[in-house]
Chain A
């Protein structure tokens, strides 16, 4: 028997049928028909955020933690434009986010109606795909297509824009699976089997013959779940592994073959290993400029094997000897079957000789390393760390001992300040059985701290840590190094975070001394619900080492530079 539903009901039902059970959103005029239908579908949990940007980041955090699409909802106009930063963040880091936006009724499109924006046009460069639903009959398929496109191949954000009258119009419900979309298949095209096995053979030969091989593992390892394959390949060949910012937690930090993070704030021995390598096996990374430094001077002696799902990435930034297009897990699995066991002992010993004592520019005991160690100890290794952007992000990347796969979530490509708090809400809802920490600086935290209200209303137990140094620390560090210590617009005032926590009715505590850290972390975890810890850290500490922008990986700043003072401090 046929069933006639409104567009809004079709939307809800299609979402449910495709396995969506959680939405982050904010109502408004053009999306009201959807919100009217929503209570009829209790299987769809809706989290009311305090700003649409947070809805997009929360959906992103959920997507990263689960590997399933995260869904956010906003109204037309300002609601939709507020999603933009979140969509761009997801786009840069290849995460499957689906945004559903209300739009003005069809008859008003293009007339500068109230709360009308061309959100499809605005988001085109930062989405994998977008669909304006012009007929209610197309709505269910649009939802199916959006969810499918977001997740298949290299994931990315998809936007579905639905005019208000399409939400209100009636149509017959038609069940069914997602239709295959047309085109957009570069990553799926792959290679003909004979070509592929020839390339695999080339890769195996290069891996066997290299004297100083290195594996660089990126986000693709996590997106494809290639943890085991990566570890086994490294162990069979003895090839050391570096993990990019988004590759962190794709390989155990404690593993003897793990070297650390490369690039702008990578450890000296990691970058030297890259520069000395004669072969780089890049897995699911895009050789971003923060990883390579000056491209012309990047790993000059190394041949590159690039394992990558997106064919357009191969050869984009670095010249590639062998490009293996496909899923990282599959390709590493195939390599694993063909590589001969070997050891790279001499090479690893050489790298060990590159290691330096880490330069800690902290006075006293209240250090990022100490805080992160306490968080790990209290959690017993079972927690997910969501970081924001800036100095603390680098400390969190380098100092936390990630033991389990996919436990580090951060905005790597876009570098979105304000990401951590809302993204941690998504991660916390995805992982109810473990602690989820949002670690921010005092700058990024103040960008989205309004979401504490969301956590309270929805009972989302995010544990928040603010590394407060009174500065926009990373910018201040650049000003110190490259702008003659002119601290222009970087000192930043914060409210009293303990009283802020009180105002929201959550636990809050300020930590000023190293010996209080573990106790504070323990208390934050012991209290049910969200909690906020403020750590008053060294004001002018820097992240070392640092490759100056534009310089090569061979030119790190390893400690305080003797920067000339251009202006009086």
Chain B
């Protein structure tokens, strides 16, 4: 069944490796919805999350292709419906003074936070699933959005199972 699936990739923390992986994604025409990359607890390794609109078999084939890339240590498709995915968005708004209180209500309703405030504008931080972020953005539209910056999703299998990729859980400063 087609749906949005997350693929987690553990790869060497080098631009050439990231370049190879992204090149593969383009070349093999993976139906990609989003990419995000960040450090892991293991020095020298990054974790890349690829969100794909595909069925299970295509996601599994993508994993097999990814595993062939030199510099990729491992890759895994997270089971759909059994993964927690989160996106981050920063939204800069210029709410009219008289609607500021209303904005704070919306922020609270969505468990968002005001992370920057100036005389003219505020920046709101949102975290949630893609659908949640989109819904929140719609709710914020009426407060005069100036700029939106969204990050790709990170994902993790729910439950107490073993990690899908073999990395150190503890973060080291400057691992990246």
Contacts and interface: CB of A to CB of B under 8 A. Distances in A.
Interface string B28-68: 00000000000000000000000000000100010011011
Contact of B67 (A124, A125, A181, A189): A189
Contacts of B11: 183
Given A124-B20, A125-B27, A315-B57, A183 B73 contact: yes
Contacts of A310: 68
Nearest to B10: A183
Contacts of B61: 312, 315-316
B64 A183 contact: no
A185 B66 CA distance: 10
Contact of A187 (B12, B68, B71): B68
Contact of A184 (B23, B27, B57, B68): B68
Q: Kindly state the interface size class of chain A when it binds its partner.
A: 20 to 34
A184 B16 CA distance: 14
B23 A132 contact: no
A182 B69 CA distance: 9
Interface string B1-19: 0000000000110001001
A182 B68 contact: no
B136 interface: no
B57 A183 contact: no
A445 B62 CA distance: 40
Contacts of B16: 120, 132
A311 interface: yes
B146 interface: no
Given A132-B16, A315-B57, A181 B70 contact: yes
Interface string B96-121: 00000000000000000000000000
Nearest to A132: B16
A312 B12 contact: no
A214 interface: no
B51 to A, nearest CB: 20
A340 interface: no
Contacts of B70: 128-129, 149, 181-184
B72 interface: yes
Contacts of B72: 183-184
A129 B16 CA distance: 11
A129 B23 CA distance: 13
A186 interface: yes
A312 B23 contact: no
Nearest to B68: A186
A186 B73 contact: no
Contacts of B69: 183-184
A186 B20 contact: no
Nearest to A125: B27
Contacts of A316: 61
Main secondary structure, interface of B, reads helix
A63 B84 CA distance: 48
A182 B64 contact: no
B25 to A, nearest CB: 12
Given A125-B27, A315-B57, A316-B61, A185 B19 contact: no
Nearest to B23: A124
Given A124-B19, A132-B16, A184 B71 contact: yes
Given A120-B16, A124-B20, A124-B23, A312 B71 contact: no
Of the listed residues A121, A124, A149, the one surrounded by the most CB atoms of chain B closer than 10 A to its CB is A124
B57 A312 contact: no
Interface centre among A128, A183, A315, by most chain B C-beta atoms within 10 angstroms, is A183
Interface string A283-313: 0000000000000000000000000001110
Contacts of A186: 64-65, 67-68
A182 B12 contact: yes
Nearest to B57: A315
A344 B61 CA distance: 35
A183 B12 contact: yes
A128 B72 CA distance: 13
B71 A182 contact: yes
Contacts of B65: 186, 312
A187 to B, nearest CB: 7
B171 to A, nearest CB: 21
A149 B72 CA distance: 14
Interface in B70-109: 70-74
B94 to A, nearest CB: 41
A82 to B, nearest CB: 22
Contacts of B23: 124-125
A310 B71 CA distance: 17
A59 B65 CA distance: 26
Given A183-B11, A183-B12, A183-B73, A312 B68 contact: yes
A314 B19 CA distance: 25
Contacts of B19: 121, 124
Interface string A128-149: 1100100000000000000001
A257 B67 CA distance: 38
B73 A182 contact: yes
A439 B98 CA distance: 84
Contacts of A185: 67-68
A184 B67 contact: yes
Interface string A157-185: 00000000000000000000000011111
Contacts of B68: 184-187, 310, 312
Nearest to B28: A312
B4 to A, nearest CB: 21
Given A183-B70, A315-B61, 8 more contacts: A121-B19, A125-B23, A183-B67, A185-B68, A186-B68, A310-B68, A311-B67, A312-B68
8 contacts: A124-B19, A124-B23, A181-B70, A183-B12, A183-B73, A184-B68, A312-B64, A312-B68
- Sorted from nearest, which 6 A-B pairs have the closest CB atoms? A186-B67, A312-B64, A184-B70, A183-B72, A129-B70, A186-B68
Interface of B: 11-12, 16, 19-20, 23, 27, 57, 61, 64-65, 67-74
Interface of A: 120-121, 124-125, 128-129, 132, 149, 181-187, 189, 310-312, 314-316
